[in-house]
């Protein structure tokens, strides 16, 4: 079982990834709007997963993560990813 402290550490790591995606969106804004929008969309998707996990709804976080593109899903810390997918019933 994943402890609350472990989840908090993983949420902090996820916060860093969300911030990185937002910085990349800002960097590309005006030069490559398609890429800027993609980075912002990725940040929003990760934020939704993060918010669900932070409020303790790991099953909802897992359902949200399940529908992400693989490269976005891979930014979720592995321990957190495993916990939310298990809570959502997606792991065997």
Quick check: pTM over 0.85? yes
Helical residues (DSSP H) of 29-75, grouped into ranges: 33-54, 58-66, 70-73
- What is the domain count for the chain? 1
Predicted pLDDT of residue 5: 87
23 C-beta neighbours (distance < 10 Å), count? 12
| pLDDT value at residue 4 | 81
Residues for the chain: how many in total? 92
**Which tokens go with 4?**
């609350």
Q: What domain range is 78 assigned to?
A: 4-88
pLDDT means per 10 residues, the chain with 92 residues, are 82 97 97 96 98 96 96 95 96 60
């Amino acid at each position: 079982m994943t402890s609350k402290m472990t989840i908090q550490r993983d949420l902090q790591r996820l916060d860093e990834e969300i911030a990185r995606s937002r910085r990349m969106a800002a960097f590309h804004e005006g030069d490559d709007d398609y890429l800027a929008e993609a980075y912002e969309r990725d940040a929003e998707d990760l934020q939704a997963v993060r918010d669900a996990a932070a409020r303790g709804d790991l099953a909802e976080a897992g359902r949200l993560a399940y529908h992400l593109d693989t490269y976005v899903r891979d930014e979720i810390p592995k321990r957190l990813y495993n916990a939310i997918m298990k809570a959502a019933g997606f792991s065997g």
